[in-house]
Amino acid sequence: MNKKVEVQDLGNRDYKEVWDYQEQLFKEILDLKIKNRREETDLATPNHFLFVEHPHVYTLGKSGDISNLLVSEEQLQAKNATFYKINRGGDITYHGPGQIVGYPILDLENFFTDIHKYLRLLEETIILTLAEYGLKAERSEGETGVWLDVGTPFARKICAMGVRASRWVTMHGFAFNVNANLGYFDNIVPCGIKEKAVTSLNVELGRSEVPLDEVKPKLLKHFSDLFEAELVEKASV
């Protein structure tokens, strides 16, 4: 089992460009797994972890409801935002500046074959990172992602998640609000969940900004520990 994970920080990139890149890496892993099975070889499959920050964009998962997008195409253009229907699970979400988006593209057969466990460990990565800032984050039963003040009238989501998996290979991932412009969430019903708020790390800490480069190493440390992975930095494409 190959537990090495190549980490790339793509900076600020267009959503569709990075989606295509994810698909390329995803397909390379799947093709290698198929080759191994057909030719009875045992070539190691690679694992990837992409960090990226996107321009304003809304994405709707394959089981999502388009009515959860509350603005027209013209209004999207006025807000300098784009919209895509994509092939992950979950409903509608927002990506934008000030948000850390993480895309683990892993062959889970290198780690464990359990999608439920995979999602819970991604959530735990965020929960442990927030604990370093003195915040008690939690899961909300039946609602994938990471929340604060669960079970109270003040419950608010700080990290959304949605993944795709095929033959135990994953893509898509999490969107962690660090310095996000929360006004953009007013244009959707986030994740299809009504009457619950969204928050950002800088808001919770009462800071104007939290450096993304301060948060990313914390995320990687907890990801590495939880997945027992060996992280390898890779130059950006």
In the chain, where the domains are located: 4-233
- Average pLDDT, stretch 149-166? 93
Residue type, 25: L
Q: Which residues fall in the annotated binding site?
A: 88-95, 160-162, 173-175
DSSP codes joined into one string, 81-113: -EEEE-SSSSSEEEE-TTEEEEEEE-BGGGT-S
- Active-site residue among 57, 101, 148, 191? 191
Angle at 65 between CA 71 and CA 58, to 5 degrees: 50
Report strand pairing: 156-166 vs 143-148: antiparallel
**What phi and psi values does residue 155 have, to the nearest 5 degrees?**
-55, 135
pTM of the model: 0.93
Distance, CA of 79 to CA of 87 (rounded, Å):
24
Angle between helices 115-131 and 212-227 (to 10 degrees): 140
Instruction: Name the pLDDT band for 192 (thresholds 50, 70, 90).
Output: low
Instruction: Name the pLDDT band for 63 (thresholds 50, 70, 90).
Output: confident
Q: Which residues fall in the annotated binding site for substrate?
A: 88-95, 160-162, 173-175
Distance, CA of 161 to CA of 131 (rounded, Å):
19
Per-residue pLDDT at 194? 59
Active site residue 159: no
The fold for domain 4-233 equals BirA Bifunctional Protein; domain 2 (3.30.930)
